[in-house]
Amino acid sequence: MNWLEFEQKAADIGYKNICGVDEAGRGPLAGPVCAAAVILPPNTIIEGVNDSKKLSEKKREKLYDVIIEQSVSYSIAYASVEEIEELNILNAAMLAMKRAVEGLEINADYAMIDGNRLPDLNIDCEAIVKGDARSMSVACASILAKVSRDRLMYKYAQQYPQYSFDKHKGYGTKLHVEALKTYGPCPIHRTSFLRKILGEH
């Protein structure tokens, strides 16, 4: 498989600063959604990089530092729980991606977005379905987004210990659902995601 196929195509057209973009945290019941944008040097393949969902937490943590070291520029951005509630999760994820691209210290001139929707960007971009398993830049972005969000959820676990956010990162596991039924939601819960679990509140 050619991890650089999409990067190469964009470079052949003449784009110079090609970024991969992905998000983490669409599905959880709590916490913000996180996005990352990464520009790698031309023809860079980072050993061990894959779709973040296929890697162990330990492996992701290790690769996080390698990606940051090797990238030309990277950016991590969030859309808050309040924005998720106001805009819906899809639009909030698009907003986080837009913020990540616009937060790059070196302006990207082309963006490869994981999925089938494009955020509202002022540069040329393409959507790549399963991009995190097909493009090196997008896979790197998926790792940065996932690790950054997980680290944030560890902090929330200290703030709200009764929910065990360190174990499930806000996803709707049995442990999480039981805690919700016992304690009710806390300020970082996405209330619109809880209706089926808690009834109409």
Domain spans in the chain, listed from the N-terminal domain onward: 5-149
pLDDT in tens, 74-133: 999 999 999 999 999 999 999 999 999 999 999 999 999 999 999 999 999 999 999 999
d(CA 126, CA 112): 5
pLDDT in tens, 13-53: 999 999 999 999 999 999 999 999 999 999 999 999 998 88
The CATH H-level (homologous superfamily) assignment of domain 5-149 is Ribonuclease H-like superfamily/Ribonuclease H (3.30.420.10)
pLDDT in tens, 135-158: 999 999 999 999 999 999 999 999
pLDDT band, residue 196 (cuts 50/70/90) = confident
Is 112 within 8 Å of 18 (Cβ atoms)?
yes
For residue 97, give the nearest of 168, 158, 150, 19 by alpha carbon.
19
d(CA 31, CA 79): 9
pTM of the model: 0.96
Q: Give the CA distances from residue 116 to residues 126, 158, 163, in Å, rounded to whole numbers and listed in that order.
A: 9, 36, 33
Q: Is 123 exposed, middle or buried (0-12, 13-18, 19+ CB in 10 A)?
A: middle
